[in-house]
């Protein structure tokens, strides 16, 4: 699946100025992460289990 076919979304915590933001796209197999300021760069792909562990760690629980 190409990155143009993915349904990208930004965090609800993103500022209106568009600075320092990432976009995320979720598939059955993985979570894709990219820099919203430069979508031409390759995205980072992590398995769904790894993403879940990261989000739990970042949330502090």
Give the start-to-end residue ranges of the domains of the chain. 21-61
Q: What is the pLDDT of residue 57?
A: 95
Surface-to-core class of residue 21, CB atoms within 10 Å of its CB (0-12 exposed, 13-18 middle, 19+ buried): middle
Residues of the chain falling short of pLDDT 50 = none
User: By C-alpha distance, which of 19, 22, 23 is closest to 9?
Assistant: 23
Q: What is the pLDDT of residue 29?
A: 92
* pTM of the shown model: 0.76
Q: What is the pLDDT of residue 24?
A: 92
Q: What is the pLDDT of residue 22?
A: 86
**Cβ-based neighbours of 45, under 8 Å, separated by 6 or more:** 30, 31, 32, 33
């Amino acid at each position: 699946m190409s990155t143009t076919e993915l349904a990208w979304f930004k965090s609800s915590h993103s500022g209106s100025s568009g600075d320092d933001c990432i976009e995320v796209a979720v598939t059955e197999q993985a979570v894709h992460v990219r820099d919203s300021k430069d979508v031409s760069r390759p995205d980072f792909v992590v398995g769904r289990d790894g993403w879940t562990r990261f989000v739990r760690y970042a949330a502090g629980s």
